[in-house]
Amino acid sequence: MRRLLAITLLIASASAPAQTAAEANAARLESLRAVFPQLASRLSTLTPDGPEAYLELGEELLAEARTDAEFGFVAELFAHAYSHARENDPALANSACLALTEVTSSPRDVVWLRLIAGIVDPSRRGWGRPQGVELDPALALDAAGVISALRAADGVTAKRLLGRRAIRSVIQSNAGLMTSAGRTEVLSELDSQAELWPCPTCQNERIVNRRVGDRIVAELCPTCNGAPGWKPGAGTLTGQLRFEAVMLGEYDRSWAAQFAVDLGAPLRDPDPDELPAVFGVDPAMPFWRGGRWSSTP
């Protein structure tokens, strides 16, 4: 059970036990149908030899989706696109994987999806947006550099990097790796940390000289306690390490294992075969018939 995404659990809990599967399906599509009259006919034309149609429909519905059930259905469309594209169109499978990050709330699940996106199409890696915007490796390195500079109390370097619009945009669009808080909060937290360092009392010397009577004694700096630099809490530090690892392109299993513990929950191994089931999708049932996925056309 722990392998299920939060989104799958939400769907499960939204369906009362007395409801049949078909009733639950009908209920969760009701409001989408209201804003998307052609939904039924679009769904009926989906076939596994045209995986891009699942992705396109999912993206159109994503703009209208409001409830967990609706986001769940969009996720199913993306998961179908992924599973039917994997063999012949890795770039499309990669896009579908990244599209799934748009309907996934947990930063840990986003990392897992990005890892899989990188595995199914290594040429596109896992950090591009579904639209295919590439991340410049040099910018990614500088984005990671902001975090490490702040931990090293080098506010001057951090401020210089944060002064570049392109770096701010890389940090903002990947902020979900660091925190589940809002993305703009991450940048303002980094800005205010950059103002704090170097230590205003000891200038990162760690000790201060104090006159005691006619003697000068060296003491641990009372402001930074002899340890200048950003000291994020445990959860935040894990998020920062994850952000840095992704920025530095460390996608492999050893990285996943290294950061396996995140707020007490394990990061799933990035197994591309596992993705459809995580979103409650059976690739052998690709046809939408009578309000449910079916194996027969």
Which residues 6+ apart lie within 8 Å of 26 measured at CB?
291
Q: Identity (one letter) of the amino acid at 104?
A: T
Residue 222 to residues 33, 152, 174, 210, Cα–Cα distance (Å): 63, 18, 35, 11
Kindly state the smallest distance separating residue 227's Cβ from Zn ion, in Å.
Answer: 8
Contact 282, 274 (CB under 8 A): no
We find the least distance from the C-beta atom of residue 221 to Zn ion, in angstroms, to be: 3
Round to the nearest angstrom and report the end-to-end CA distance of the chain.
Answer: 31
Cβ closest to Zn ion, residue 226 vs residue 249: 226
Place of tokens 């599209």: 99
On whether the CB atoms of residues 228 and 204 are closer than 8 A, the answer is yes
Q: How far apart are CB 202 and Zn ion at their closest, in Å?
A: 3
Residues 6 or more apart whose Cβ sits within 8 Å of residue 276: 79, 80, 82, 83, 282, 283
Cβ atoms of 100 and 113 closer than 8 Å = yes
Angle formed by the axes of helices 68-85 and 6-14, to 10°?
A: 130
Closest to Zn ion by CB, 10 or 196 = 196
Name the minimum Å distance from CB 201 to Zn ion.
Answer: 5
Please say which residue, 20 or 201, places its beta carbon nearer to Zn ion.
201
> Closest separation between CB of residue 228 and Zn ion, Å?
5
Beta pairing class for 287-289 and 265-266: unpaired
- Cβ 1 to Zn ion, closest distance in Å? 48
Q: Shortest distance, CB of residue 215 to Zn ion, whole angstroms?
A: 21
CB of 143 to Zn ion, least distance (A): 27
Residue found under tokens 């299920």: 4
For Zn ion, the closer of residues 164 and 206 by Cβ is 206
Q: Which is nearer to Zn ion, 93 or 224 (CB)?
A: 224
Nearer to Zn ion, 51 or 228 (CB): 228
Residue ranges in contact with Zn ion by CB under 5 A: 199, 201-202, 221, 223-224
